[in-house]
Amino acid sequence: MPSSTDEAQALGHSEFWDQRYAKADGTKPTHEWFRAFEDLEPFFKKHLFDKTREEGKDGKILHLGSGDSTVPYDLLKRGYTNQLCIDFSSIVVDLMKSRHSDEPQVEWRVGDVRDMKGIDSNSVDVAFDKGTLDAMIYGSPWSPPEEVMENSGRYLSEVWRVLKDDGVFLYITYRQPHFIKPILNRDNEWDLEMEIMGGGDTFQYFGFILKKYTASAK
């Protein structure tokens, strides 16, 4: 049996997710346990709905490592018709294309968030991550392995590249802020805000709002 560290490290590889999605029963998302749309709606209301109210709803939303989450289609019901989902599991991309063949406003592509060569620089209005960065992180939170820092660094650099200067990166995580902030903002390239979410009978999790520092400093 693999150790917990081995299992955590496997989350960063497409083969693991291909195996998971190959077993999907087609009736419910595989990993929507980590905050479904109704849990995130207040966060979206504040940082997505209000943001796009003036600009309209045709801004490009990029879902990073979207898996089989229903969030893109919940947003589609609200009128957001320019969405791109990228995931490195070809199985889940094919599954979602088939499941939502009558909703082409949400585009699906196989791709690695660490190398999004098919997405133009400065082309995305809102990038959204619910647990994708988390899946790259394993090992000691005080001193992450070199692979963690390399993968997360490549990923965040790509998010920075594809975002417009006034774009926003919305990141949902269950990882403690004092461990995740040094990974997120290692070169102080982001203007970063954070909200504590959850509470009550649910476990606490966090919503980060990141904007390009150069844009916010203008």
Which whole number is the average pLDDT over 95-115? Answer: 92
pLDDT over 90 at 9, yes or no: no
Q: Which residue has the higher pLDDT, 145 or 6?
A: 145
- Please give the structure tokens belonging to residue 109: 């592509």
Domain extent, residue 198, equals: 4-22+36-216
Q: What is the pLDDT at residue 183?
A: 93
- Say what percent of the chain tops pLDDT 90: 51
108, exposed or middle or buried, with CB in 10 Å at 0-12, 13-18, 19+? Answer: buried
29 lies in a domain?
Answer: no
Q: Which residue has the higher pLDDT, 40 or 50?
A: 40
CATH code of residue 67:
3.40.50.150
148 lies in a domain?
Answer: yes
145 lies in a domain?
Answer: yes
196 lies in a domain?
Answer: yes
31 lies in a domain?
Answer: no
Helix locations, the chain, DSSP H = 4-10, 14-22, 37-44, 50-55, 71-77, 90-99, 132-135, 146-162, 177-184, 213-216
Which whole number is the average pLDDT over 42-48? Answer: 90
Domain count, the chain: 1
pTM over 0.85: no
77 lies in a domain?
Answer: yes
212 lies in a domain?
Answer: yes
Q: How far apart (Å, rounded) are the C-alpha atoms in residues 128 and 85?
A: 10
- Say what percent of the chain tops pLDDT 70: 78
Task: Provide the phi-psi class of 65: left if phi over 0, else alpha when psi is between -120 and 50, else beta.
Answer: left
Q: How far apart (Å, rounded) are the C-alpha atoms in residues 64 and 83?
A: 11
Residues comprising the chain, all counted: 218
Q: Order across the sheet with 190-199: list the strands.
A: 106-110, 83-87, 61-64, 124-130, 163-173, 202-212, 190-199
174 lies in a domain?
Answer: yes
Q: What is the pLDDT at residue 29?
A: 55
Q: Which of 173, 174, 176, 198 minimizes the C-alpha distance to 210?
A: 173
Which whole number is the average pLDDT over 2-13? Answer: 46
Q: Where residue 14 falls among pLDDT bands split at 50, 70, 90?
A: very low
Q: What is the pLDDT of residues 120-177, one digit of tens each?
A: 999 999 999 998 999 888 888 898 899 999 999 999 999 999 999 999 999 999 889 9
Residue 91 φ/ψ, nearest 5 degrees? -65, -45
Task: Answer for the pair 190, 209: CB distance below 8 angstroms, yes or no.
Answer: no
When the pLDDT of each residue in the chain is averaged and rounded to a whole number, the result is: 82
Which of these ranges, 81-85, 126-130, 132-136, 200-204, has the smallest mean pLDDT? 200-204
Residue 23 φ/ψ, nearest 5 degrees? -95, 0
Q: What is the pLDDT of residues 175-190, one digit of tens each?
A: 899 999 999 998 899 9
